[in-house]
Amino acid sequence: AATAFEADKDKIKAAGELVAQLQKGPTREKVAAVCTLIDLYVSMAGHPVDRKIVVTHLGKSWTTCERAIRTGHVPVLTSRFEKDQPVRFVKRFEHNIDIAESGLSRPKIVVCYDTTGVAHKQVVKGKDDLRQDAIMQQLFKLVNQVLRAAPSTR
C-alpha cells in the first residue's frame, strides 16, 4: 500500500527558522501576510471534500486572511513576479471554492482577484507529494518550448 507523503522534517525546521528571521526585519508585515495566506490554503487543503466549500466557513484562518488582505500586503502567489513590474496583491476571493471531480485528493479550486481585477485560478491540494506536480509542470514547459521552436507545430 502507498504511504502518505511526509515532508522532510529538516527542511520544515529550516524554513521555519528562515520565516522567523524574516518576521523580525523590515519585511515582517509582508511575511506575516504571506504566512496568513498559506495558513488559509492549508485550511482549504485539509477541508473535507464531501460538500461544497464556502470561504467564510473556513473559520479563523479566513477571518485572519481577510484582515491581511485589507492591509494590501497579500501577494497573489501564482502571479508572475517580473523585474520592474508591480507585485499583484489579492483584492478578494471568490465566495465558493470548487472541488475537482477527479484526482487522488480531489483538489480544491479557488479563484482570487488581484487589485487590477484579474482573476487567478489556484489549485489547493492536501496530502499529496507536490514534487510530482512540479516535475509535470517542468515537463509541460519543456514540451511547449519544443513545440514553439518547431515551425511545423505552429
Residue 67 has pLDDT above 80, yes or no: yes
The set of residues, in sequence order, having a beta carbon less than 8 Å from that of 29 and lying 6+ positions away, is 71, 73
DSSP 3: P
Question: Parallel, antiparallel, or unpaired: how do β-strands 96-99 and 108-114 relate?
Answer: antiparallel
Q: Of 97, 89, 87, 93, whose CA–CA distance to 124 is shortest?
A: 97
C-alpha–C-alpha distance, residues 48 and 97, integer Å: 12
Q: Tell me: the pLDDT tens digits for 106-146?
A: 788 889 999 999 999 988 877 665 566 666 677 777 777 77
Cα–Cα distance for residue pair 48/26, rounded to 1 Å: 38
pTM, whole model, 2 decimals?
Answer: 0.67
Predicted confidence at residue 1, as pLDDT, reads 41
Distances (CA, A) of 108 to 99, 102, 103, 138: 4, 11, 10, 22
